[in-house]
């Protein structure tokens, strides 16, 4: 089973995801132009802003998707990290 399938089926912490891509906190900090201590705090938080999570995932080379699942309807993909369109 590949990394993406494992993450989708079992879930992974941000730290586990970063490690599965063979990246160090220091490398990721350089990509995000932040200190290594900031990466450590992001990985330990229980509650993140979506924009922070999106930035973190993009720095890993991925794309963040937010999908809402309900009992009686198809899953809905939400563009929660995009700004609303102006009229």
Which is nearest to 19 in space by CA: 28, 11, 31, 32? 28
Q: Which residues contact 44 (CB under 8 A, 6 or more apart)?
A: none
Residue 67 pairs in a beta bridge with: 77
Give residue-wise pLDDT tens across range 7-24.
555 689 999 999 999 999
Give residue-wise pLDDT tens across range 35-69.
999 999 999 999 999 999 999 999 999 999 999 99
The structural domains of the chain, with segments of one domain joined by +, span: 3-78
Distance of CA 70 to the CA centre of its chain: 22
Q: Which two tokens stand for residue 36?
A: 């290594």
The pTM of this model reads 0.76
Does domain 3-78 fall under CATH 1.10.260.40? My reply is yes
**Distance (Å, whole) CA 86 – CA 1:** 43
């Amino acid at each position: 089973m590949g990394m993406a399938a494992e993450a989708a089926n079992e879930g992974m912490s941000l730290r586990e995801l970063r490690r599965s891509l063979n990246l160090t906190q220091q490398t990721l900090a350089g990509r995000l132009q932040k200190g290594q201590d900031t990466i450590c705090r992001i990985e330990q938080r229980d509650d993140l802003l979506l924009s922070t999570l999106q930035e973190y995932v993009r720095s890993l080379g991925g794309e963040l998707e937010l999908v809402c699942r309900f009992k009686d309807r198809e899953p809905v993909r939400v563009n929660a990290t995009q700004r609303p369109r102006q009229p």
